[in-house]
Structure 1
Amino acid sequence: MHFLSKKNVQEFTLIVRIGNKYHSPHHLFTFQQLRCLELQDCLFHPPLGFNGFEKLINLDLVRVTFDPSIFTNLISKSPLLERLRLRCCTNIDILEIDVANLKFYEFIGKTKSISFKNAPMLEKVTMAILGRRLLNDTSPVCSNFPKFFHYMPSLLELDISGAILEYLIKGGLPEGPPTALNNIKSLNISSMSLRNAEVVSSAVYLITSCPKLQDLTLEFYQVSVGDIVEPVVELLRAQSSSSGAVKLQRVKVNMFTGLEMEMEFMKFILASAPVLEEIFIWNCTLYLFRSCKQMIDDMKEFRGASPNVKFTFEEIDMEGGYEHEEDM
């Protein structure tokens, strides 16, 4: 490292494979030409007087321990930063993103509050909360929807978990959707619970508020027959005659079992998307409550806004080690 400190190092990766956390080498903080930094399983503690990496473009931290104030200072002194990934790092009570040149942002971890203060160039956001919930977040007076999306007008791709949906709906849904949703073309919602009417309402609002949405991916939490929640079914039935996903072309659904709540959600999708071309669904055979053919036949009976949707259902047998695919 001492040798490297005398060179114009632009890319540096440190991946620690030992059990205990490894302190990031102090010579790292002398790399003033650094553009790409990737750290994994280590402690990040800059020395006093550290002025950041002013040429840094890409920062990737995985299971890195740091003082949240140090992280905030690092970000504020990286004016050229375009890509930021934080995965399973130190809990950050208040997560604020104020990076003018940021284009890609991924956060997987725990936090109490999320806000984007300044992200005019941000095109892709991936966010998931570990443990499914924000840490002890209290319900705000006003909706979190506009607060979350207000400062990212260039957003094209959004990948969020069900816990983020729970956070967004706190304070209620705004009458008018945030303008940041106007350009989203790809939406991925993972670990979504159909047992929670508020989460389902938030998902429906988000899907129908993206007028340029083309690709939608959904992943449902595993449910059982006894999990059917009548308010959710009623909510989805009320939405099934509405429109909104006017440019949606492709839908992929993971962990689909065929229960009533899931079928009603598909009915809503089919009724909302006049140019829909393809629906791809998959799950493990073990978790299916009905056959692939039966589910596809039922979906084809729904009143769809698009007449020529192709249904593909992939069934994976974990015990037998084979895949079965139905096309209709």
Structure 2
Amino acid sequence: MASSKISRHLTDESNQDLISNLPSIAIEKILKRLPIRMAARMSVLSTKWKDIWLSHRHLVFNATFWEDVRGGNIMQSNYGALVAEKVSRIVSNILFHHNGPLHKFYFCIPWYAKGACINLSQWLSFLSRICVKKIVLSHWHDRITIPSYIFVCKELVKLRLGHFVLNPPPRDFKGFANLWSLELVDIQFKYDMFGTLIASCPRLKVLRLEDCTGLDHVIIDVPSLESLIIKGVLCYLSFKNIVRLNNISLCLDNKIENPEGKVVALDSITDLATSCELQYLQFGGRFCEFLAAGGVEKSFPLVFNHLHKLCLTKLNFGHTDVYRFVFGMIQSCPHVKDLEISVESTIDVPKHKIDWNDNYKLSHLTRVKFTGVTGSSAELKFIEYVLAISVELEIFLFRCGHLDATSELKVSRNLLRLRRASTKAQLVCLE
């Protein structure tokens, strides 16, 4: 019995020593993959674990963290504020005891934390002093103003803000010299400060603007920019110095009938074809309709010589100008390999008269995905054209719109009857 206890004791000590003496890099990887509160609890294992925890470079306070803090508490009128107060204390305690530089600080405020009192100013002030590299802040209730300390975090390489009010930077702001990724979602810009902000990011490679307000004039003049994503409504959009841009997604919802919405100059899309080497291009929302109404087809054919993937979404084939625009875009991308089209169902789609060039071929296109098919004559004519010019096509994926089983079967049969220039092409109906 005594020998058994001694053996068990030695085994426990051996296991404890094994955990305590793990290489530092292994401990760092373990802490990085654990929820933040569990990672904090691991610091009791040994002095080594505690030291590594206090210098842990990834602090992620996400929805899982909030749920952990909330526990099984019963909802009440000031429930969100109470949880937020507790969260704020925990985050402050962890952050203000941190040693050394910080690679990433992630903090989200969930929808139920209404009236939350969060120490963002103190946190950002502290983060600026420990050379934080990445900051992700999201707030999903009434917008609050982001503290100006965000502009003091000079070592940032990545910044993502969601649902805040953004005021102009202070006068002594020297810029984000190392920032290469900027994502702004549902941000309210004050005093037309977007241009000033972008001009202060000389190494910016990735820019994402989604559902932002206060953007009266957006001029993309960023020589280092490689990827651009814009979603929402803009009053003005133009491109200047975009020599390195290779990935762009424009999903705009400007209303055509609104005169103030007709602002995207014809030169803008022309610049995309001539001023950079785009490899990925997406036009979504009502942007295709907008460009078509603006007469962009008069400049066709453009030449996107380097484009590998083209996505045109939320198309209304009931509009002749949109229909012609789509044909023109396809004929402007001779080296495209991947094509994605999505259409919106319309009533009584007319038969459009399109004179296409039978001699034009897409010798690199191997994959097509077409969603929202209803079987209209305009859709079938377009699909027939794509199949006829795609000599290397391997797969054509399609998904029907809101159709009953009988109508969907009829559409599938009509598509299967279409002639294909490529003998390898397979038509596959997606569920």
1:278 aligned onto 2:395: yes
Match of 2:342 in 1: 219
**Higher normalized helix content (fraction of residues):** 2
Larger Cα Rg: Structure 1 or Structure 2?
A: 2
What is the match of residue 96 of structure 1?
Answer: 219
Count, aligned residues: 305
Aligned residue among 297, 300, 305 for 2:416:
300
Q: Distance in 2 between matches of 1:171 and 1:207?
A: 17
Gapped runs of 5+ residues in structure 1?
316-328
Q: Residues 141, 277 of structure 1: CA spacing in aligned structure 2 closer, same or farther, 3 A cutoff? A: closer
Tell me which residue corresponds to 1:35. Answer: 157
Which residue number in structure 2 is paired with residue 206 of structure 1?
329
> What SS class does the counterpart of residue 222 from structure 1 fall into?
coil
Pick from 125, 137, 145 the counterpart of residue 14 of structure 1.
Answer: 137
Compute the displacement of 1:175 (Å). 5.2
The alpha-carbon deviation at position 90 of structure 1 amounts to 1.1
Deviation at 1:264, TM superposition (A): 1.2
SS at match of 2:149: helix
Alignment of 1:1-328 (within 5 A): 1=123, 2-17=125-140, 19-49=141-171, 50-67=173-190, 69-131=192-254, 133=256, 136-138=260-262, 145-151=269-275, 153-161=276-284, 163-169=286-292, 170-174=294-298, 177-179=301-303, 181-224=304-347, 227-230=348-351, 232=352, 234-235=353-354, 238-239=355-356, 241=358, 243-283=360-400, 286-288=402-404, 290-315=406-431
How far apart are the structure 1 equivalents of 2:202 and 2:265? 33
Percent of pairs identical after alignment? Answer: 25
Aligned AA (1:229) = P
The aligned residue for residue 3 of structure 2 is none
SS of 2:216's equivalent in the other structure is: strand
Deviations 1:104-131 (A, max 9, x none): 1100011133221011111110111125
Deviation of 1:229 (Å): 1.2
Q: Could you say if the C-alpha distance between residues 203 and 85 of structure 1 is closer, same or farther in structure 2, counting changes exceeding 3 Å? A: same
Amino acid at match of 1:136: E
Report the AA paired with residue 350 of structure 2: V
Deviation at 1:282, TM superposition (A): 1.3
Length-normalised TM-score, structure 1: 0.85
Q: What is the deviation of 1:73? A: 0.6
Specify the SS of the correspondent of 1:92.
Answer: coil
Q: 1:140/1:294 Cα in 2 relative to 1: closer, same or farther (>3 Å)?
A: closer
CA contact (8 A) 2:307 2:335 kept: yes
Structure showing the higher strand proportion among its residues:
1
Q: CA RMSD in A?
A: 2.4
> Take 1:71 and 1:182, find their aligned partners in 2: how far apart are those partners?
31
Separation in structure 2 between the aligned mates of residue 245 and residue 91 of structure 1, nearest angstrom: 42
After TM superposition, give the deviation of residue 293 of structure 1 in Å.
4.5
Could you tell which deviates more after superposition, 105-114 or 193-202?
Answer: 105-114
Q: Could you say if the C-alpha distance between residues 68 and 198 of structure 1 is closer, same or farther in structure 2, counting changes exceeding 3 Å?
A: farther
State whether residues 305 and 334 of structure 2, in contact with CA within 8 Å, keep that contact through their aligned partners in structure 1: yes
Larger RCO, structures 1/2 (Cα 8 Å, 6+ apart): 1
* CA distance in 2: counterparts of 1:135 and 1:297, whole angstroms: 43
List runs of 5+ in structure 2 lacking aligned partners: 1-122
Q: 2: distance between equivalents of 1:141 and 1:253?
A: 29
